[in-house]
Structure 1
Amino acid sequence: MSAEMPIGTLLDSSDTAYLRAPRFNRHTFWCGQSGSGKTYALGVVLEQVLLHTRLPIVVLDPNSDFVHLDTPRESAPEDAAAQLAARDIRILRPGSEGEDHLQVRFVDMDIRSRAAVLQLDPVLDAEEFNAMLRVGATFTKADDRRLGDWLESHDDPMFRRLALRLRNLGILEWDLWAWGGHDVTDVVNATPDATVLDLGGFDSAAQLQTAALAVLDRLWAQRHERTGRLVVIDEAHNLAAPDAGTPLARALTERIVQIAAEGRKYGIWLLLSTQRPSKLHPNVISQCDNLALLKMSSTRDLAELGQIFGFAPSELLDQSPTFRQGQALFAGGFASEPQLVQMGARLTREGGSDVPIGIR
Structure 2
Amino acid sequence: MTGDITIGTLADADGDAPATLRATRFNRHTFWCGQSGSGKTYALGVVLERLLLGTQVPMLVLDPNADFVRLGEVRDETDPETAAALAALDVRVLRPRGLGDATPLHVRYIDMTLRGRAATLQIDPVRDAAEYNALLHLESEVGPLESDRLASVLRDSDDPAKHALLRRLENLGVLDWDVWARGHESAEDVVDERPRATVMDLGGFHEQLEAKVAALAVLDHLWATREQRKPMLIVIDEAHNLCRPDPESDVEAALTERIVQIAAEGRKYGLWLVLSTQRPSKVHVNALSQCDNLALMRMSSPRDLAELGDVFGYAPADLLAASPHFLQGQALFAGGFVPEASVVQVAARWTHEGGSDVAVPI
State the distance in 2 between where 1:264 and 1:246 align.
27
1:32 equivalent in structure 2: 34
Query: 2:10 corresponds to which letter in structure 1?
Result: L
- Matched with 2:72 is 70
Distance 1:336 1:128 in 2: 55
1:23 maps onto 2:32 in alignment:
no
Q: Does 1:120 align with 2:126?
A: no
Counterpart contact for 1:30–1:271, Cα < 8 Å:
yes
User: Of 265, 271, 275, which aligns to 2:274?
Assistant: 271
Whole-angstrom distance in 1 between the partners of 2:102 and 2:64:
20
Give the Å deviation of 1:135. 2.0
Cα displacement string for residues 259-303 of structure 1 (whole angstroms, at most 9, x for unaligned residues): 111111111111000001011111110000000000001111111
Query: What secondary structure, in the 3-state scheme, does the structure 2 residue paired with 1:165 have?
Result: helix
Q: Aligned Cα RMSD in Å?
A: 1.9
Alignment of 1:128-139 (within 5 A): 128-139=131-142
Post-superposition offset of 1:246: 1.0
Query: 1:5 — aligned with what?
Result: 5
Q: Normalised by the size of structure 1, how large is the TM-score?
A: 0.95
5+ residue gaps, structure 2, are none
TM-score (norm 2): 0.95
- Offset from partner CA, 1:126-154 (integer Å, 9 cap, x none): 11111111123333369963543443345
- Aligned residue type for 2:220: D
* Contact 2:230-2:270 at 8 Å conserved across structures: yes
Mapped to 2, the partners of 1:29 and 1:136 lie a distance apart of 39
Tell me, in whole angstroms, the C-alpha distance in 1 between the residues paired with 2:187 and 2:271: 17
Per-residue deviation at 1:77? 1.1
Counterpart residue type for residue 263 of structure 2: A
1:124, 1:310 → 2: CA distance? 43
Moved more, 150-159 or 241-250: 150-159
Q: Does 1:186 align with 2:153?
A: no
Give the Cα separation in 2 of the matches to 1:85 and 1:263: 31
Query: Aligned partners of 1:283, 1:277: CA distance in 2, in Å?
Result: 12
* Aligned mate of 2:81, from 55, 79, 83: 79
Question: Does the 8 Å contact 2:109/2:180 carry over to 1?
Answer: yes
Paired with 1:146 and 1:4, the residues of 2 have a C-alpha distance of 54
- State the Cα deviation string for residues 17-40 of structure 1 (Å, max 9, x = none): 111111000000000000000000
SS at match of 2:96: coil
CA gap of 1:8–1:183, structure 2 versus 1, over 3 A, is: same
d(CA) in 2 for partners of 1:266, 1:231: 13
Partners of 2:12 and 2:54 lie apart in 1 by: 26
CA contact (8 A) 2:142 2:149 kept: no
CA offset digits 1:90-111 (Å, max 9, x no partner): 0000111898110111122111
**Aligned pair in 2 of structure 1 residues 144, 176: CA closer, same or farther (>3 Å)?**
closer
Distance 1:142 1:342, change over 3 A: closer
Return the letter of the residue paired with 1:294: M
- The separation in 1 between residues aligned to 2:128 and 2:332, in whole angstroms, is 49
Question: Conserved in 1, the CA contact under 8 Å of 2:109 and 2:145?
Answer: no
Give 5+ residue unaligned stretches, structure 1.
Answer: none
| Residue type at the aligned position of 2:5 | M
Instruction: Give 1:178-327 correspondences, 5 Å limit.
Output: 178-327=181-330
Residues 1:248 and 1:144: Cα distance change in structure 2 (over 3 Å): closer
Deviates more, 1:214-223 or 1:138-147: 138-147
Structure 2 residue 166 is the aligned partner of structure 1 residue 151: no
Larger CA deviation: 95-104 vs 221-230:
95-104
CA offsets 1:290-343 (integer angstroms, 9 cap, x no match) = 000000011111111111111111111111111000000101111111111000
Deviations 1:67-123 (A, max 9, x none): 000101111111111111111110000111898110111122111011111010001
Once the two structures are TM-superposed, the CA of residue 200 in structure 1 deviates from its matched residue by 1.2
Question: Which residue is 2:349 aligned to?
Answer: 346
- Do the aligned partners of residues 357 and 4 (structure 1) sit closer, same or farther apart at CA in structure 2, a change above 3 Å counting? same
Q: Per-residue deviation at 1:247? A: 1.0
Aligned to 1:111: 114
Which of these residues, 46, 56, 59, is aligned with residue 57 of structure 1?
59
- Deviations along 1:174-199, whole A, 9 cap, x unmatched? 11111232211010111110000000
